[in-house]
Structure 1
């Protein structure tokens, strides 16, 4: 009996040993199969920074033998950088049934991956490491780590953008008695007021509530030339007049005298000509449109001819919608207090020592301009928001938060300040949807790296229309954003309307460089240097073209000029993967000696 027990225990021990040994052997065989047969493809390689992220596609193919019932093969993707070989995990590919596709009869997974960009990561390595895992007992065997991409190409970050916006023009001293203006936009062929956020109806109702002796209101309505019916503008004016009179009747208890006059712009083609002249269209396209409008053809023939022009897309998207509108102008007669009195009263309002009605909206806004300190400006504009609920107060408070964010070096604190700027600029946009307000909102989103929202508001700002200089700035920063997200063709299209500025030429140069049109890129960088001689970034960009085209003389001359113009570019050149093939060549070394 004892012999039987010994034999039984021996059999059990051998069985367990074989089982453990079998699992270990299986995992090791999987690891060796993976190391020998897996194929990893990374695009782009080297990796490239895009905005504040590094985006890339990683495709992994493994041998069919790694797909098993009792074991699973996984592939970890990570980035390794810095003196301490810091590891940043990016993702894991799981080669289980249902999580891969077959390509060329091989299990394949392709994913778009990304990780945050930081200058410290510029000289790192993209790594993969496989894991063979036993599903029952979680035993693991690892492949050797493998480098699949080196460093980060930062050339896409060499763009120029402005995103500069400032406080509303303070014309209180000159225009204390000036009119207020509200714009209302209508659906195509429609005259119904739209009660949505940003429609200005709420602001109009505030005027109906104002406790003033009298109001003189002028409504000027228009329509776009392609709309049906000749009386549409008149209907829009009538709709606004009736709406306002109803609101005064319902909301006003002061018995103020209200006088309303209406005016209809009878010639939509004349209004169209004015809008075209003030648009961001290139000079040649403006001339083409104006020539058609000034011809002796009928209105219908002119509209048909405009559809064949290069400007037609711009007209349809940005100009025609802005003509389906009516402007309401309200005139007040108010007295003006001395600046010192305004400032003292505004501080008391902010500290809740006096009631808000001791100052008008314009007086409180003006008081905030009398101090250079952002903390005091914020306090006064917050009081203006609380007491007036008007768009300039929200807008200027948003500008204050944006200026505070520009001075903030801590990333999370900066984002929090920009979030407050966005909140207030959004309220300003609801009350006064103009190109200026929505450009500032787009810029705040852009700085906060919320690119989709920024792009939407850039487009909205352009559609609202404005002065040519403002529209060109909007298109220029919109193009910068499009470069950041890799939409180079869209950026080039936007830059057609951005004027002939340094920013425009630098970003056209970068767009062409990234599209590998090096001759075109060089031409734009040379134009930028004509506008800003000795610009280090322009020379550095020309050096990159020299590196990409194997023109060592071009590389050396421009890299030397870049470093002489901006000393910080020396360290950038040392870290830049674009110059990797030239590290030991005289052209590169001599340029950095200066």
Structure 2
């Protein structure tokens, strides 16, 4: 009898313990209906990762004092399961290091995790599995509960095609040009000596005049004649001499112009004489190495009267002899100058020559002509030809790299950019190398190069903004994009949650791609604006049918999946 009574008492005690602490089966049943709050409610991808948090509310008298409950969330997608890290909670009587949930008061189980996103996860579920264990007994598995859908991957709408920077040409269709010659005279003489007409500059000047009439691209804008006397001798004599030199040079110039068939009138011809060329004298002395150079210059600065100047300088007898031999003869002259404009090839001529006779073009014409060509292969060929003909110019190599990058020939593009950089390092070339790094998936190197190349302007900022979207740093992206009207700029604003700002930016794009309409459809879904949603979704799938399948799975539109209009667009 004593033994029977003892067993009965023991059973009663165990029963009381299980009742007071909540039986394991009771806890299991309660665990399957626990309410979980997930943030965000629909899983989202940012920076290539999905981060979420879960709060499970444990009611009073739920958590057995001797139990340990382990949360085992998983992501189910495309027939696969991704197991996430587990987290355990324990009752008040368990000896362990896990967070404690009170039996009488209940509490909250908090969980958070981050996992790498895969494209297949766009249609997925977050399922919360759990197990309950008392001591060393076999854990009891709690049936899994779906607690969230996933994954919204709107950041993947980013265009990953970086912008390249083409180095500019210095092409001028109308170029100013000039030809000059000097006729020198004997002291106090104004007649042109025959030997002067045989000087190389005079002969070339005459030849130049003869070619003007038959050159349809050359336009004579002005002829200038300036006759001078040196500042030695009497002023009246020098006035007569300089005037005579003007006359003889004028006769020579007008006769040669007439012979060349040129019309010389007052509108383009100007002839004048300078009695004493003190300015020329000063310039010649400054450029010389004569002994009393500084003293002569001081005299010129102290006195403005020509007679006083001449007297003071002649008082330096030895120095004046040097001046008479080396300086003064150069001042007894008539300067002839023809100013003209050379009109270059028309755009049509340049396009023809760029393909048929590129060797006839100079570097500036080749670079400019490349910009006129519509055919990408012809443009690339012209840049490569220019790089071959002008190997010390970084521009054709860089520009060829831009074309290669657009054609997806990334390794060749990188080689071209590095060749350009070897000639001359510039922000433009570094920006392009940063773009190559982006295309090769090296975002660290790309960001380093682009940050060093902000002087390249909009392209560097655009590329950096794109990288920031990929990394999930949306405010930084918005800052880089600034006021650009670009799909990526609008996307960055949208990802910040600024629907109105994103729509305003996307509306300013002049030739929107399908993805721009798709983003505007998302804004319509987020703001419950069905007209905005359906109008733009229809435009997106009209431009690119791939957006039908995308929209069917995109949880941005989850509240509209059953709408007949939505179905009609994506079917």
Bucket of the pairwise TM-score, normalised by the shorter protein: 0.3 to 0.5
| TM-score normalised per structure 2 | 0.47
Higher radius of gyration, 1 or 2 = 2
